Amino acid sequence: MNRFGLTIAVPRGALLSGSLDLLDKALIDTSEIRANDRKLFFADVGVVTMRPSDVPTYVEAGAADVGITGKDVLMEHPERQVFELADLGFGECQIVVASEHGPDKAAAALARLGVMRIATKYPRIAAEYFERSGRQAEIVTVNGSVELAPLTGLADAIVDLTASGLTLQENGLVVREEIATVTARLVANRVAHRLKAVGIEEFASLISAAPDAQATEA
């Protein structure tokens, strides 16, 4: 266990190295986590690693006291009752609508057929976004390689996360609309937030002590 007395959920994938850098700032030894990408539970330092989308699940249930995950995950799962403590400022991405280069097939589909097909890993964010703008969208949920969907005719456009736009570009897709800018967030279990207040405040202030994170659209 770490000196804060907290079990910390850390996301694997794109947010891992930024998260571990912050744990270093809090003087938590991350060398074993960095060296070992198969092990999931590091009891000595109170860290559990998992997919970013599982972080709110563990934190809500109290299996982890605090966790780091993307704002995109929190937006997709508003039913998870976790407290959002801080914008950690790293891992900045955009949630965008993208479609194939050239005339926008999604706009054409909407104009001619009154509805467009959207492939996404974020069915809730996508559905709410198009509903808000009064457009009919049929949401097709896929679990990975969303860029494939417009290329194969599964969908007219996609809603996905992009940092550099490189993957979109390599697959011949262009950004049509930006839905939100998201960054990594620190979340806490609501009981731990009260019962482990001292440890959580200390941990939070150490890892978010960076120069003020830019205000982001959330």
Partner 1 sequence: MNARIPSGTRDVLPEERAELRSIENALLSVFSESGYGEVSTPTVEFEETLQRAGGAAAPVSYRVLGEPGEDLALRSDMTVPIARLASSRYRDAELPLRFSYVAPAYRAITAHRGRAREFLQAGVELIGAEAPASCAEALSLLCRALDASGLKNFYVGIGDAGLYPALLEACGVDGVASEAVLRELGDRDFVGIDRELAALELSSDDAAMLARVPRMRGPGVLTDQLEQPLEQSLSAIREVVDTLESAVAARMIPDLGRSPRMGYYTGLVFEVYDPELGEPIASGGLYGELLGRFGMPVSGVGFAIDLDLLHAAIAGEERGETGR
List residues binding partner 1 (CB under 8 A). Answer: 60-63, 79, 81, 83-87, 185, 189-195, 197-198, 201, 215, 218
Centre a 10 Å sphere on the Cβ of residue 110 and count the other Cβ atoms it contains.
18
What element of type H or E holds 216? none
CB of 82 to partner 1, least distance (A): 8
Alpha carbon distance 155, 99 (integer Å): 9
CB of 76 to partner 1, least distance (A): 14
Q: Would you say the C-alpha torsion 126, 167, 93, 77 has a positive or negative sign?
A: positive
Alpha carbon distance 39, 56 (integer Å): 20
* Residue nearer to partner 1 on the CB measure, 16 or 192: 192
* Angle subtended by helix axes 16-25 and 197-207, to nearest 10: 110
CB of 119 to partner 1, least distance (A): 24
* Residue nearer to partner 1 on the CB measure, 60 or 147: 60
What element of type H or E holds 70? strand 66-70
* Residue nearer to partner 1 on the CB measure, 61 or 108: 61
64 φ, ψ (degrees, to nearest 5): -130, 145
65: its two tokens: 């006291």
* Residue nearer to partner 1 on the CB measure, 80 or 105: 80
CB of 93 to partner 1, least distance (A): 16
CB of 215 to partner 1, least distance (A): 6
Among 206, 184, 146, residue whose Cα is nearest residue 10: 184
CB of 165 to partner 1, least distance (A): 25
* Residue nearer to partner 1 on the CB measure, 117 or 185: 185
Amino acid at site 34 = R
* Residue nearer to partner 1 on the CB measure, 170 or 212: 212
